[in-house]
Every structure is written in C-alpha cells, then in structure tokens.
C-alpha cells in the first residue's frame, strides 16, 4: 500500500473519539517526501475537538515542513469522508491546491483537488 495511506491508517488507530466514536486518520506528505500522520482528538467540551487533518498539518508545520503535495483521509464508512470546512480552509492556507485522497477500510478510494472542495477560497492574497 502507498506509504501515505498506510500512515493515515496507522494514525486512525490512535484516534481519541470517545464521544462520537467516529475514528478518523489523516496523513500529509511533504514535497521532500516526509509523511506526518494525525488523528481526531476529541474533548468533553466538544467544540475543542481537533480533526485528524488539522492534527496532521499542524504536526508537519511544527516540525518545520513548508511544502506539501498530498493528504490522505480515512474513516470506516462507505461514504468517503472529506475534510470539514474548517480543515479545508486551514489546508488551503498552508498547502495550496494539493491532492486530497479519501479512502475507507473497504478499499474505496477517490482523489480530489483541494480547489474542488474549496472553490474561490479566501487566503492571504486578499490581505495584501
């Protein structure tokens, strides 16, 4: 299996989701070939929950990564799970128009562009 997808699966195994029981894994790949995994980390104050995608990208940025190529996201439902709106915005700001690979434990898989998930995005170019 693609190492990026395997990293997302491994991260999903570390998901902390006692409230929703919806376990999500993500993994982001850097332009120089590094991979950072992330899982959702829920909180009893529900709004403080962090999604798997943002855990992965924040981990990568905290380790000094700057350029990204792909992110993979895995959950265990037939309908492939895309990043939520907040994660789309954060990914756009930090990664630009990367590939977003959605897959599930049954082997279904789809690759999208982030610009298709977040058309006409707001970003730093509006702040110039």
In the complex, the residues that contact ligand THU under the rule CB under 6 A are 17, 20, 22, 24, 40, 42, 49, 51-53, 73, 81, 83-84
Nearer to ligand THU, 20 or 111 (CB): 20
Least distance from ligand THU to the Cβ atom of residue 71, Å: 10
Nearer to ligand THU, 17 or 121 (CB): 17
Nearer to ligand THU, 31 or 76 (CB): 76
**Cross-strand bridge partners of residue 37:** 27
Q: Which residues contact 3 (CB under 8 A, 6 or more apart)?
A: 35
Nearer to ligand THU, 30 or 40 (CB): 40
**Which is it for strands 68-75 and 99-104: parallel, antiparallel or unpaired?**
parallel
Write phi, then psi, for 62 (nearest 5 degrees): -65, -25
Show the tokens assigned to 36: 């950072």
Least distance from ligand THU to the Cβ atom of residue 47, Å: 11
Least distance from ligand THU to the Cβ atom of residue 53, Å: 6
Least distance from ligand THU to the Cβ atom of residue 21, Å: 9
Q: How far is residue 37's CA from residue 27's CA, in Å, rounded to a whole number?
A: 4
Active-site residue flag, 53: yes
Q: How far is residue 25's CA from residue 98's CA, in Å, rounded to a whole number?
A: 18
50 secondary structure, DSSP code: B
Given 53, 63, 106, 110, which residue is catalytic? 53
Catalytic residues: 53
């Amino acid at each position: 299996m693609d190492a990026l997808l395997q990293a997302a699966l491994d991260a999903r195994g570390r998901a902390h989701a006692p409230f929703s029981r919806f376990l999500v894994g993500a993994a982001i790949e850097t332009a120089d070939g590094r991979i950072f995994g992330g899982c959702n980390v829920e909180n009893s104050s529900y709004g403080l929950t962090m999604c798997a995608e943002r855990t992965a990208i924040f981990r990568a940025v905290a380790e000094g990564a700057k350029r990204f190529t792909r992110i993979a996201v895995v959950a265990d439902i037939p309908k492939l799970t895309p990043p939520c709106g907040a994660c789309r915005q954060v990914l756009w700001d930090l990664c630009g128009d990367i590939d977003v690979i959605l897959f599930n434990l049954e082997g279904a898989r789809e690759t999208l562009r982030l610009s298709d998930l977040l058309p006409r995005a707001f970003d730093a170019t509006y702040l110039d």
